[in-house]
Amino acid sequence: MQLLAPAKINLFFEIKGRRSDGFHEIETLMAPTSLSDRLTIEKEPDGKKALHFSCDDPSLPAGDDNLVVRAVKIFREKTGIDGGVRIALEKIIPHGAGLGGGSSDAAATLMGLNDLFGSNLNQEDLIELAAQLGSDVPFFLLRSAAICTGRGEIVSATRLPKNFFLLLAKPDFGVPTPWAYGCWKDSRPLPGMDYGAQEFSGARFVNDLERPVFEKFVLLAHLKAWLRQQEEVGAALLSGSGSTVFAVLHENADPRALSEKICAEVDPRMWTLPCETLG
């Protein structure tokens, strides 16, 4: 069985305050994109209980710290199914990027195991398991745009006003999500930086985590400001806690030409990728 695990972007991300459980109360609009990791999930032919997990990115953990491995374990605990399984992950979504790659991999694993073993867990059951793995994981079960509230685990499917053409841009460093949340309250805006909401094609783009992230990683602030000056770009925003900044493009824009300009004028080591939102 082969599955796609799509990346996400946050069209808006607002922090409402800190909760008594230590998490932050948020409201965000997330959308899946055409950028995806790929998973192959198979039963072990000899029926042994073993889990064999492999990933083509050696920098990622392969043990209990990996969300795919944790997804298998909580699926087994929930269903009592302990048949052997072999999972190979082809990692295409960069990690530490604010694109939800690990969370998407975990959600795809839960859905794949549910189908592979015929356990018939319903959507509510899967969302309950997903929420144990991380705040973003339930979103990826919907395979559509969604408003996410609570700490992110309460998801309500919605429609975007349109599918957006995007250019993703990520420097050669990541941003730890817990750090970004931890610095949010005491962070200060950079002088001259516009953090206000942008309106484009019926959607609103704003991200409360830009303030702490830009304060430390000034290159990301410069990248966003530079993108907003380009005629091809209708809006530009940090996705989640970053370090990816995405540009929302006008329909006739050439993303490859813009990518070349980023590498020439902002950072020659910048990873860029054109894609589009789904659902």
Q: Which of 241, 276, 245 is nearest to 262 (CA)?
A: 245
Q: How many whole angstroms separate alpha carbon 197 and alpha carbon 204?
A: 6
Phi, psi of 52 (to 5 degrees): -110, 110
The sign of the torsion formed by the CA atoms of 26, 30, 35, 40 equals: positive
Catalytic sites, residue numbers: 8, 136
Q: How many whole angstroms separate alpha carbon 28 and alpha carbon 150?
A: 10
Q: How many whole angstroms separate alpha carbon 14 and alpha carbon 269?
A: 30
Asked whether 212 and 19 are in contact (CB, 8 A), the reply is: no
Q: What tokens appear for 28 in the block?
A: 């965000």
Which ranges constitute the DSSP H helices of the chain? 67-79, 101-116, 123-133, 137-142, 177-184, 210-216, 218-228, 255-265
Q: How many whole angstroms separate alpha carbon 71 and alpha carbon 140?
A: 13
Q: Which of 130, 131, 135, 97 is nearest to 8 (CA)?
A: 97
Q: Which of 32, 39, 36 is nearest to 90 (CA)?
A: 39
- Name residue, tokens 């392969």: 62
